[in-house]
A and B are shown apart, each in its own frame.
Chain A
Amino acid sequence: QSALTQPASVSGSPGQSITISCTGTSSDVGAYNYVSWYQQYPGKAPKLILSYVSDRPSGVSNRFSGSKSGNTASLTISGLQAEDEADYYCNSYVTSGTWVFGGGTRLTVL
């Protein structure tokens, strides 16, 4: 099972919107809506920010939104803030009953 494909890095200025893509296959992202996104700060455990493509857990800012089309899922962060600077990972359930993560994307707030 190969890792999902994410851009290594994205950047944006405060107030702007950015989108991070997550491309898989018809056996994972394309097969199910079980796509989730995680935010990770250096030295910390990952934090769930979106599940089931676009569901936000309680306490997560509505500036985070998700979508999916075919084999590609996307995370959009609107109204970019300095505190959004972190690493972001997508994750998908796979038909084999396993999980697969994306390679991760480093977001830099300029």
Chain B
Amino acid sequence: QVQLVQSGAEVKEPGASVKVSCKTSGFTFTGYYLHWVRQAPGQGLEWLGRIDPKTGDTRYSQKFQGRVTITTDTSITTLYMELGRLRSDDTAIYYCARDAKMSADFWGQGALVTVSS
């Protein structure tokens, strides 16, 4: 069965970087785009970007361009999202999701990133 299992919660200081992982299984890793979406406390969903694991091609939200990097390691079918220059308003749950027909059909469980001094 399709599974996306994310790394655990992180606490970071302002200005630092965080790297969240998403281990996938149950499907052909290079056959689907993979996305990152975040949700701040009490707020809505916000798209960060996506990657084509087959080619490495990425697309990022203009809001996060230059601050976010999405990568994959196809040997271990794992997706990563690194966000730099963290601010307090980056505190959120970060989700990975698989793309099917330009929709997110399977989601990870989410990883809480807290930015606090």
Q: Are B47 and A99 in contact (CB under 8 A)?
A: yes
A1-B61, A51-B100 as given contacts; A102 in contact with B105, CB under 8 Å = no
Q: How many A-B residue pairs have C-beta atoms within 8 angstroms? Tell me.
A: 68
* Residues of B in contact with A, size category: 20 to 34
Q: Which of A22-40 contact B (CB under 8 A)?
A: 32, 34, 36, 38, 40
B26 CB-CB contact with A under 8 Å: no
Known: A45-B108, A45-B109. A91 touches B44 (CB 8 A): no
Instruction: Give bound CA distance, A97 to B105, whole Å.
Output: 18
Which of B47, B63, B102 has the most chain A CB atoms closer than 10 A to its own CB? B102
Q: A1-B61, A98-B61, A99-B50 are in contact. Are A46 and B102 (CB under 8 A)?
A: no
A1-B61, A101-B46, A104-B45 are known contacts. Are A45 and B107 too (CB-CB below 8 A)? yes
Binding site for A on B (CB under 8 A): 35, 37, 44-47, 49-50, 59-63, 95, 100-105, 107-110
| A103 CA to B105 CA, complexed, in Å | 19
Provide the bound-state CA to CA distance between A104 and B102, in Å.
19
A1-B62, A97-B59, A99-B50 known; A51+B105 contact, CB < 8 A? yes
